[in-house]
Amino acid sequence: MSEKQSIEIDGYKIYYKVTGKDNAYTVVILQGWGTTLEVYDSVAACINEKYKVVQLDLPGFGKSSEPREGWNVDGFADFFIKFMQALDIKKATLLGHSYGGRVIIKLAARESLPFEIERIVLVDAAGVLPKKTPAQMRRIKRYKILKKIVNTKLVDTLFHDQAEAWKKRQGSADYRAASPRMRECLVKAVNEDLTELFPRVKQEVLLIWGENDTATPLSDAKVMEAKMQNAGLAPIANAGHFSFLDQPVIFRNIMRSYFKM
């Protein structure tokens, strides 16, 4: 396994790792939100005896420099293009887990790229905006009202500690764990529905999904399979959002079969 290395792109220090055969066909792994590139070592190990595999920490992930402003998904897609150019990768299969899937969908839907995406593997990928239930709508409305109250100068002055404690309890675990800058990026991502982009994805797409995924449910994968031009679904029983960690043997078998190992 090669050592992690860094490269500077647009003033950002980006960490990445390359394993496998130097002159072999390239597979690039785009990570899920809040993860580090090391989380995907087992994914790379499925295929790097035959392929060259690139893992990276996107800006704001792992120890890579944070974006200087709150990027949306297209901002990360634009940066990934620069990363591919910096490594002189002209053609690759892209594998994306969770948030990484969002970035890949954005890239694949573009009319032109400076590199070729040959195939796509989406693992428990994000991109479908869930419909909010009436109860969720009521909670959101209540949250917005309370947020306005908590952010008033009077409340901050009289009840600063309590107000700060309330703020820290709001949002998902990913949101609470993120820095202020990365929270901006996360909010922009989760509020964007990519469904209308699915028909523009022309590449062959393998969807690997945990049947018990609650973050990006299996129904999302079925929407992608139906709307993308050439997609096939491989569900994994007794696996959640990190299907490759929950059922590593089954995941490995699917990968090795698909990549003809």
Supply the pLDDT for residue 23: 76
Above pLDDT 90, what percent of the chain?
72
Interval 88-113: pLDDT, tens: 999 999 999 999 999 999 999 999 99
- Candidate from 32-36, 182-186, 197-201, 248-252 with smallest mean pLDDT: 182-186
Query: Torsions phi, psi of 178, nearest 5?
Result: -85, 155
Residue numbers of the domain that contains 152: 134-179
**Do 158 and 241 sit in the same domain of this protein?**
no
Cα-Cα-Cα-Cα torsion 32, 36, 38, 42, nearest 10 degrees, comes to: -10
**Do 198 and 113 sit in the same domain of this protein?**
yes
Supply the pLDDT for residue 24: 74
| pLDDT bracket for residue 122 (50, 70, 90) | very high
**Do 202 and 87 sit in the same domain of this protein?**
yes
Q: Is residue 240 part of a domain?
A: yes
Supply the pLDDT for residue 135: 61
Domain boundary pick from 179, 212, 242: 179
**Do 233 and 169 sit in the same domain of this protein?**
no
**Do 243 and 120 sit in the same domain of this protein?**
yes
Q: Is residue 161 part of a domain?
A: yes
53 pLDDT higher than 50: yes
**Do 143 and 229 sit in the same domain of this protein?**
no
Supply the pLDDT for residue 174: 57
Supply the pLDDT for residue 167: 54
Q: Is residue 187 part of a domain?
A: no
In sequence order, the 6+-apart residues with CB closer than 8 A to the CB of 73 are: 102, 103, 106, 188, 189, 192, 194
What is d(CA 90, CA 51) in angstroms, rounded to the nearest whole number?
A: 15
* Pick from 228, 231, 225, 224: nearest CA to 200: 228
Q: Is residue 184 part of a domain?
A: no
Number of domain units in the chain: 2
Average pLDDT value over all residues in the chain: 89
* Pick from 48, 63, 60, 94: nearest CA to 201: 94
231 pLDDT higher than 70: yes
Q: Is residue 215 part of a domain?
A: yes
Q: Is residue 140 part of a domain?
A: yes
Interval 180-227: pLDDT, tens: 888 889 888 888 999 999 999 999 999 999 999 999 999 999 999 999
Q: What is the CATH number of the domain that holds 246?
A: 3.40.50.1820
**Do 113 and 59 sit in the same domain of this protein?**
yes
Supply the pLDDT for residue 166: 47
